[in-house]
Amino acid sequence: MSDPTLTGERIVLIDDSANDLQVTKRFLERRGFDVSAATSGEEGLALAQAITPAAFIVDYRMPVMDGLEVTRRIKADQVLQTIPVLMLTGADAAQTVVEGLEAGADDFVTKGSDTEILLARLRALLRMKRYQDQLRKLNQQITRDLQIARRVQEALVPNGFFRGPRIEIRSAYIPSATLSGDFYDYFLQDELMYLFVADVSGHGLPASILVALLKSYIHTESDSRTSLSSFMASLNDFLFSVSLPTQFATAQLFRIDSAGNLVYSNAAHPPFLLLQKANGKTVVHEAPSHLLGAMPSMVFDEHRLQVAPGDMLFVYTDGLTDRRNAAGDFYSLDRIVALMDDAHDDDLTTVYDRIFEDVSTFAATDEFRDDIAFIVTRFH
């Protein structure tokens, strides 16, 4: 009958005492381990490079390269660093344990103690390693899946350049995580130009799913006969019905006709900027309102503006103004206002490039780095 304890897992055993080495090697082999023995740290590391073991058993006291140095080299090696090290210590083990932990050892056994204790400690380390390996594989799979989801999400965002009748658009999408809750879209329908920007709470897969649902809804439900206030109310109820209890969004929806009538509805989204070429000034337009999807049956307002050839519209998500540098300064909307005021006679690409560079080079700390999306629109 076969021994159920047999594992076949490879162990590199390093001990400068030939007698102790053989005793431990034979014991582990009888328990089913595949043991490669070395009488020096250099030899043991060379063996490990050749076979990539499941664990190391390393004697603390060895000439030339002791167990501490062997452990440091194992943990500094990208291939070997996740492999557990069981260190054999002397009777006065307290200081040795401290030094071993600092070097990276994973567990300790007093040399000469009962071999069953050695076996139990080794099995525990190998069990932990198997769990960690499974987690790493799962994490790799999740990372691959998220990368695929990221590509799908990027496909939902329109091309960064758009030119239509009497309108030109440049847009930027700068996510801080694999999957973002920031979203924008623009499209022509029934000779009307629609521009939509939203910021779904949170990151990751839940936020990205809502982004996909938002895009589908605005494309299938947009109707020139429906007021934007009514459309936003319907969108709010839809988002409330499909989102998690903690999810909501801020949003702005614009509709522009061929006569330069710009109608918009806001859902707690940050103010937008409008450069009026006639007076060369950029005006901040703010319209406080309810969050989108937080509560059902909310009423939203509708506002109207007139735009003329040469006017320029700037909309964005709050990741832009939430950026904060090491000095504690937030990225100010005044920076965008100044860039637009100074560049009102430049072509749209030049204006966009200056804004993008200013935003990108603002040295935000990791703590205050959020998704950013912005759209610059020039009317002709």
pLDDT at 3 exceeding the cut of 60: no
What pLDDT score does 4 carry?
A: 41
Average pLDDT over residues 148-175: 82
How would residue 6 be classed by pLDDT, with cut points 50, 70 and 90? very low
Residues 112 and 251 in one domain: no
Residue 79 within any structural domain of the chain: yes
Percentage of the chain lying above the pLDDT 70 cut = 93
pLDDT at 7 exceeding the cut of 70: no
Residues 137 and 163 in one domain: no
Residues 132 and 177 in one domain: no
What pLDDT score does 141 carry?
A: 82
Q: Which residue has the tokens 């501490």?
A: 68
Residue 150 within any structural domain of the chain: no
Residue 39 lies in domain: 10-141
Residues 230 and 363 in one domain: yes
Q: Which residue has the tokens 């005044």?
A: 334
Q: Which of 117, 141, 165 is the last residue of a domain?
A: 141
Average pLDDT over residues 241-245: 90
Region of poorest pLDDT, from 64-78, 291-305, 355-369:
355-369
What pLDDT score does 177 carry?
A: 58
Is this model's pTM higher than 0.85 or not?
Answer: no
Residues 123 and 191 in one domain: no
Residue 358 within any structural domain of the chain: yes
CB 180 within 8 A of CB 205: no
Residue 5 within any structural domain of the chain: no
Tens of pLDDT, residues 106-144: 999 988 788 899 999 999 999 999 999 998 998 888 777
pLDDT at 5 exceeding the cut of 60: no
- CATH no. for residue 130? 3.40.50.2300
Whole-number Å distance between alpha carbons of 371 and 101: 40
Residue 274: both structure tokens together = 């409008």
Residues 84 and 221 in one domain: no
Residue 4 within any structural domain of the chain: no
Whole-number Å distance between alpha carbons of 35 and 58: 13
Residues 104 and 165 in one domain: no
Mean per-residue pLDDT of the chain: 89
Whole-number Å distance between alpha carbons of 236 and 257: 24
Tens of pLDDT, residues 218-241: 999 999 999 999 999 999 999 999
Tens of pLDDT, residues 313-334: 999 999 899 888 888 899 999 9
Residues 199 and 337 in one domain: yes
Q: What burial letters (b/e) apply to 346-364, b meaning 16+ CB within 10 Å? A: bebeebbebbbeebeebeb
Whole-number Å distance between alpha carbons of 59 and 42: 13
Residue 2 within any structural domain of the chain: no
Residues 184 and 216 in one domain: yes
Residues 238 and 349 in one domain: yes
Residue 294 within any structural domain of the chain: yes
Q: Which residues contact 12 (CB under 8 A, 6 or more apart)?
A: 35, 36, 38, 44, 47, 48, 51, 53, 55, 56, 57
What pLDDT score does 1 carry?
A: 37
Residue 203: both structure tokens together = 């990151």
Residues 70 and 183 in one domain: no
Residue 221: both structure tokens together = 């439900």
- CATH no. for residue 203? 3.60.40.10
Residues 179 and 317 in one domain: yes
Region of poorest pLDDT, from 167-181, 208-222, 231-245:
167-181
Number of domains in the chain: 2
What pLDDT score does 2 carry?
A: 39
Q: Count the helix, strand and coil residues of the chain and give each as a percent rounded to the nearest 5.
A: 40, 25, 35
